Chain A
């Protein structure tokens, strides 16, 4: 049995898939998005966090069996509401062996995984096979810009997206709307053309940039300096409904 590092479990998460859901945050992320609002999810290890002057440890070790048991307690609730469990992070695929074991322990319930897609292909496949649906982030289609704003190019991400589309697995495409970064017509149209014809696509969600993004940086000893204008309202450019895709702006 594998141990994993979890940094939060949120009950009644309303934006992470159908029905009543619990969302599990797995620690560790290989990307460094300039707008990330969960910097405590970056390091793969437990770390110090200071909240309102009180020091606490962010992240704890838990075995796959124990986590599955805990999540399984709300089975009846999930069944009644068509809900289940969503895994996110950080980047949950960074702990894919652990994640697969937890999912194997939750055979009888709906499981969703939110991923940046930045993961080894075999890891991606093994998690995808076990999930009932995916929430797949598409931040920027231009690889150079992707590198500039997240610290890595997007080739791996786009390859995994292709795998996902080919599998027919239900998924939601999520695009964070960052003012002046990716809220352009060009980027939205490029994203739409990536998604065109994907049978598994349930809808596209645009997540408006949230101004509290920087709140947690000082808590983990970092400072937040976004290379874009936070005050600006991101533009909502709909390149999707015209192509027959459902769009939801959150």
Chain B
């Protein structure tokens, strides 16, 4: 399959290009016919598009070993006489996939040579079978490998710890006097450009949601914080190019130098919706608690959106399902009268969350994933086990999102305060208001929306209720196993689930109408009358986040005024660092202005280049569905 497609690709070398490889086939045909898919669905479940996605390949290894090196490893393994027929088939498919990529490189080489582009041809020669030795070779091989992953119909193809695995090649070039910093920077910039060249052909769930994330900084195996020249160049290249790919994550911790945050804040100013900041101090211990080795935990990267995954070793499905916190609370309210105290009622909610976790963990069986021989060559354990990565990797954990956390916590805070404690809200009034969508209870609704306590105000409640809900969620999944032998991870992300869950959700005690939106990710209610970003950060860093570490950021939208001068950008950097020091796990910053957005909705043709980050990815605003546009506009009404 991969061979056929790569054969069909016509080599294109654009004027002045140093790193080649441009996609010319716009749609990859499905490996199965509709009838065959239907047959598979009879006995199996599929995840999203059914192919391997959203994992982090071992680029470090392939750049080192080269395609030929990898091929010999497979051939060596194939000599084992005890292999089963199935294993043999896998290994030969793997060899074939490698050869297809090699032939593809060869085709480009011929094209380059006949065009008289000797330097390109010789680079392609060098990376045809052996590993890279220079920065340019490394980037060219990376391009070819990444290209082949897309072509093999894998998607959400992340780029991992780019600065860490590229750095040795930069160092070697510098040490040998082969390259200047400017040349290195130009190459990195060109690589970033290649990620955008054909990105319209890379599908995800929406345009722009292509998952080409990279991760910069973070700790090494000795626990030292790394932020090298390549990391710096990446931030600068992204700032200069001002393009949506690759999407940058910045790993940081309490001791990360302010200068790194400042560079990040300057990129934030671009309004691309990244970098996203990830806190090693919380993520690494959280992953270790889930059972990852300290090596793997320290090596974490970020998936297409925000989920924490492990390069090479993690064949996780990080978004297999979602718990609706607000839905569970809403259902539980129907039994409110049976409970005499808030504590007793919460114990019931806790039970309901755990029952829902039980249901979710039972619901995902007979998963089928389309085999991915080439991706398998970039993942750990596949050659030893002679088994395709689609059947499982070294770890096979499932992640579960949690939607409507703040809606649920705010609602419970209302019940606790007004119903149980102050007794100013009777059961009859509450239930009548909720069942009739606040019709005839407008004053109550106003009061609940505007005056009731909310997460984001740095109040003891509902923040502690938010913590309790997350704890129930984490406990509900803890110790359970999925059919692939992996565990279940609780998280604070929502992906698109928050839209689905909000649609069917009845009116809630926080004053929300039936069907009205709920916030995305780990974010305060739309009704919050902000005290400000500091209170929001405090409210959303109190929880024991390392116990719900599937991923899912606090999102704060920033007004453009913050970026009028360098001094205020520096202050923003300090604010980001403060959030990390408070113990927040993940932070996403958007820079938006409401007028622009409203205008963009009305006159999309004038705002083609307006970029927003929606639920973990950046895309062009005018290309989004209306419901997403409305949601973004709604958020900014309450400027932080």
Contact = CB atoms under 8 A, between A and B. Distances in A.
A38 B394 CA distance: 62
Contacts of B562: 14
A9 interface: yes
Interface string B301-345: 000000000000000000000000000000000000000000000
B376 to A, nearest CB: 47
Interface string B416-454: 000000000000000000000000000000100010000
B578 interface: yes
Nearest to B532: A11
Nearest to B572: A14
Contacts of A14: 561-562, 567-568, 571
A10 B578 contact: no
B352 interface: no
Interface in B568-588: 568, 571, 574-575, 577-578, 581
Interface string A81-104: 101000000000000000000000
Given A9-B531, A19-B571, A20-B534, A80 B446 contact: no
A77 interface: yes
A12 interface: yes
Contacts of A19: 571, 574
A22 interface: yes
Nearest to A52: B637
B609 to A, nearest CB: 26
B15 to A, nearest CB: 43
A78 to B, nearest CB: 10
Contact of A77 (B567, B568, B578): B578
Interface in B548-605: 561-562, 564-565, 567-568, 571, 574-575, 577-578, 581
Contacts of B574: 19-20, 80-81, 83
Contact of B578 (A20, A248, A250): A20
B571 A81 contact: yes
Interface residues of A, number: 19
Contacts of B568: 14-15
A225 interface: no
A232 interface: no
Given A54-B450, A77-B578, A22 B564 contact: no
A12 B577 CA distance: 13
Given A54-B450, A80-B581, A22 B571 contact: no
A80 B578 contact: yes
B1 to A, nearest CB: 53
Interface string B454-474: 000010000000000000000
A10 B559 CA distance: 14
Interface string A9-27: 1111011000110100000
Interface in B42-65: none
Contact of B534 (A54, A74, A80, A248): A74
Interface in A1-59: 9-12, 14-15, 19-20, 22, 54
Chain B interface SS verdict (over half): helix
Contacts of B106: none
A81 B578 CA distance: 9
B529 to A, nearest CB: 10
B73 interface: no
Contacts of A81: 571, 574-575, 577-578
Given A14-B562, A81-B571, A22 B450 contact: no
Given A12-B533, A12-B534, A20 B575 contact: yes
A77 B574 CA distance: 9
Nearest to B637: A52
B134 to A, nearest CB: 42
A74 B578 CA distance: 10
A54 B446 contact: yes
B263 interface: no
A236 to B, nearest CB: 15
Given A77-B578, A80-B578, A11 B534 contact: yes
B299 interface: no
A11 B578 contact: no
Contacts of B532: 10-12, 22
A77 B531 contact: no
Contact of B535 (A11, A15, A20, A250): A11
B456 to A, nearest CB: 11
Interface of B: 446, 450, 458, 531-535, 561-562, 564-565, 567-568, 571, 574-575, 577-578, 581
10 closest A-B pairs by CB: A11-B532, A81-B574, A11-B534, A14-B568, A12-B533, A77-B578, A20-B574, A14-B571, A12-B532, A12-B534
Given A12-B533, A80-B578, 7 more contacts: A10-B532, A11-B534, A20-B575, A54-B446, A77-B534, A80-B574, A248-B565
21 contacts: A10-B532, A11-B531, A11-B533, A11-B535, A14-B562, A14-B568, A15-B568, A19-B571, A20-B578, A22-B532, A22-B534, A54-B446, A74-B534, A76-B581, A81-B575, A81-B577, A81-B578, A83-B571, A248-B565, A250-B564, A250-B565
